[in-house]
Structure 1
Amino acid sequence: MTVSKQDIIEALKEAKEKSTDRNFTQTFDLSIGLKNLDLSDPENRINEEVTLPHGTGKTQKVAIFADGELAEKARNAGADQVFSRKELEELGDDKTRAKKVADEYGSFLAQADLMPIVGKELGPVLGPRGKMPNPIPPTEDPSKRLESSRNKVCVNVRENPVANLPVGREDMSNEEIAENVETVLDFMISKLPKGPKQIKSVTLKTTMGKPVSLKVN
């Protein structure tokens, strides 16, 4: 399957034309329909994060599970929240709060040696949301990781053969959104057993607009 950047840009223009005027900046949503994919086989399910080259246009909150030096570096680097090991364990004992935290933050990082605890305490909450943390060595500067995490979106194909995710906003350029779309399509193709042959449909729409289909070759 090949979808040119120009085809994507034309679809974005059409989606804008079909959009209802609203007094807020609308999001562009990408929908990718799949075919011949047996989701009863866990190996065919997709639940991963993708870094968009231009982000979604909306600042995403990032939290980190860390102690000591890494925790201090993360605070200085602008992490939205730093959870210590003790706080992590407390979250594991309070499922209601754990779910709120999982929904509040778009992405998570974790000190490498805390990953087993994260899995034990929060795996059932973060896993289904596609938000299991990426591990980070305790001596690393987390600045770049935090910046990259703010541009991530979750691609989730678990129960239905379709992936829906935001790829930009109206106040971004068509070029930027098109490059985000290309990144997601390339990722999806790399994860499918038969690659582009399993892409059934690709559509774009604004929050309040009608979907526009892209030609799938």
Structure 2
Amino acid sequence: MLSSQQLTDLIKKGKGEAKERKFNEAVEVILTLREVDAKKADLNVNETVYLPHPTSKVARICFIGAGDMALRAKNAKVDAVIDPSRLESLAGDKKEAKKVARSYDFFLADTALMPRIGKILGQSLGPRGKIPIPVPPNAPIEAMIQRMRTAIRVRSRGSLGIAAKVGERKLSDSELAENVLAVVQAVEKKLPQGEKNIKSVIVKTSMGKPVKQAVGQS
């Protein structure tokens, strides 16, 4: 895999391909893959990646549950709480269920409600890779919510390219390189042959030209 210095140099080159804008451009990484079948189960990447240096976009989080855990989630400034009665109201309303699925980046849920959530929201959350993370009764939900604010979702979408926003231009080259490395390491773990399945790393700003570094080459 590329070294930290190679990734830093790639970021610097990517920034250099785009002139300074009046807004803070996003920086994106694209991993191209090899020797995997995009249409088969050997390419099933749906990872929550906690970036060392958060982007300006704060993840929106919804908690599904009630009681003390819901109160703790509210106190931790979760974006929304869906209690059991609200959950049941979504059972016959596919349009509203899809709206809920689109509205939040991540879902947390009381472990006891997971079977019911699967039946009611599974068809809306599953295809988006947003199945809730189960939260046991004594789990530190406050810490979970705060940590997930810095997270991004990295998914394969039936192609040999996996893209993710890793920050904005205002971050330093080394900070962006660390974010790219976090994404690469998360993806590697889900590939049949790990880093051998990564063909190249591409970096670009939202308005700039892509720059590519083949893996295994200088």
TM range (shorter): over 0.9
Give aligned-pair identity as a percent: 38
TM-superposed CA distance for 1:104, in Å, is 2.0
**Measured at CA, do residues 23 and 77 of structure 1 come closer, stay the same or move farther in structure 2, by a change above 3 Å?**
same
Q: Which moved more, 1:14-23 or 1:124-133?
A: 14-23
Distance in 1 (alpha carbons) for counterparts of 2:14 and 2:90: 42
Q: Which moved more, 1:95-104 or 1:191-200?
A: 95-104
Alignment of 1:46-61 (within 5 A): 46-61=45-60
TM-superposed CA distance for 1:27, in Å, is 1.0
The answer for the alignment partner of 1:205 in structure 2 is 204
Task: Indicate yes or no: 2:149 matched with 1:161.
Answer: no
User: Aligned-residue CA RMSD in angstroms?
Assistant: 1.6
TM-superposed CA distance for 1:20, in Å, is 4.2
The answer for the alignment partner of 2:30 in structure 1 is 31
Q: Which moved more, 1:179-188 or 1:95-104?
A: 95-104
Whether contact under 8 Å (1:35, 1:199) holds in the other structure is yes
SS of the aligned residue for 1:188 comes to helix
The answer for the alignment partner of 2:98 in structure 1 is 99
Alignment of 1:17-166 (within 5 A): 17-166=16-165
- Please tell me the residue identity of whatever aligns with 1:190: K
Normalised by the length of structure 2, the TM-score is: 0.92
Count of aligned pairs: 216
TM-superposed CA distance for 1:135, in Å, is 0.6
**Measured at CA, do residues 127 and 194 of structure 1 come closer, stay the same or move farther in structure 2, by a change above 3 Å?**
same
Runs of 4+ in 1 over 6 A off after TM superposition: none
Q: Which moved more, 1:14-23 or 1:29-38?
A: 14-23
- Please tell me the residue identity of whatever aligns with 2:60: K
- CA deviations on 1:117-141 (whole Å, 9 max, x unpaired) are 2211111221121211111013333
Whether contact under 8 Å (1:70, 1:141) holds in the other structure is no
Question: Unpaired runs of 5+ in structure 2?
Answer: none
Distance in 2 (alpha carbons) for counterparts of 1:85 and 1:175: 45
Q: Which moved more, 1:32-41 or 1:89-98?
A: 89-98
Question: Unpaired runs of 5+ in structure 1?
Answer: none
- CA deviations on 1:29-51 (whole Å, 9 max, x unpaired) are 11001111123322432223222
